[in-house]
Amino acid sequence: MNQEEPQRNLALDLVRVTEAAALASSRWLGKGDNKKGDMAAVDAMRLSFNAIEIKGVVVIGEGEKDKAPMLYNGESLGTGNGPGMDVAVDPVEGTKLLAYGRPNAISVVALAPRGTMYDPGPAFYMQKIAVPSQAREHVDINAPVQDNLKAIASALGKSVDDLVVFVLDKPRHKQLIEDIRQAGARIQLHTDGDVAGALMAVSPDGDVDVMMGTGGTPEGVLTAAAIISMGGEMQCRLDPQSEQEKENLLSAGYDLKRVLTVRDLIQSEDVFFAATGISGGTFLQGVSFTGQGALTRSMVMRGKTGTLRRIESLHSFEKLMRISAIKYK
């Protein structure tokens, strides 16, 4: 067996990035302005990346440089020293959740070796099914919903009516919701946040057994880093929601019938992932202000070792504001 000396776990650097984004954006909780909340997170995240020893390039970001003054695709991040890394960012996953004070808004970042992340190109949406490790060999995105739920239940040692399925509450899921109900499974309907939904499904202590439905393609790539770390599985297939998106995908040579797994979305196990709760929820608690500072809760993962850490951090604003360029108050 080849054994290695312990190496730097970049996920422990990444959590400082997601904590900063969560602290900055949480000031906008429930204030109805998703743009200002997102921008606060973006600014904090960009500044925090300056301290990480990587040559990072954003593969999953906020859009091309000329369309978004944010963490745009192709932007360089990090000090410019250290390993070359693909970077996936979602400063606020669930901007509407943050704006309207709803649970499960989170800040998320993932890293993978340069050139290993799937480029979604013009793909905005993909159909997904995400399950924990026990069921990873028992799902088929091309199979009927009822067949998948039976197979998942069997793999988990449950009956179908024990299962809880995470589904985004969107018009496009009307038939999916009906099929799940007919199969006998229970449903959690969420307005937004399919990264959180997939994490809830694959987490060993989550209260969701499977995530089903169509969500964002960039979010699927970001989620893959966490699923690789936790040993679960997610099958995906591009699912354009407009004729224009479909035409763009076909013109660019994308195969709309191809089934993608997490190994297609990120072609490496040497991945790093961090997420910090912003608005709270049963899955990942949000930012709590203490009067003198704040408490954050995060999850941190490294794919190569399969280690998942839950980190609770107490931040002192009196000390932070002496040295930090980020506005936390």
Task: Please tell me whether 319 is known to bind a ligand.
Answer: no
93 is in an annotated binding site: yes
Gap between the Cα atoms of 325 and 304, Å rounded: 33
Which structural domain, as residue segments, surrounds residue 231? 125-265
Q: Is 125 annotated as a binding residue?
A: yes
Is 162 part of any known ligand binding site?
A: no
Q: Is 170 annotated as a binding residue?
A: yes
Could you state, in chain order, the average pLDDT of each consecutive group of 10 residues for the chain (329 residues)? 63 95 96 92 93 94 59 92 95 94 96 96 95 96 98 97 97 98 97 92 89 95 95 96 96 96 96 96 90 94 94 88 70
Report yes or no: 18 and 275 within 8 Å, Cβ to Cβ.
yes
CATH of the domain at 307: 3.30.540.10
Decide if 249 is inside a domain: yes
Same domain, 129 and 257: yes
179 appears as a binding residue in the annotation? no
Nearest one of 313, 322, 246, 318 to 22, comparing CA atoms:
313
Predicted pLDDT at 66: 44
Task: Determine whether the annotation assigns residue 82 to a binding site.
Answer: no
> For the CA atoms of the chain, what is the radius of gyration?
19
- Please report the pLDDT score of residue 65 as a whole number: 45
Angle at which helix 11-25 crosses helix 34-49, to 10 degrees, equals 150
Q: What's the domain count of the chain?
A: 2
Query: 329 in a domain, yes or no?
Result: no
CA-CA distance, 280 to 260, in Å (whole number)?
31
Phi, then psi, of 88 in degrees rounded to 5: -120, 130
32 annotated as belonging to a binding site for a ligand: no
Residue 192 in marked binding region: yes
- pTM for the full predicted model: 0.92
Assess contact for 107 and 22: CB atoms under 8 A: yes
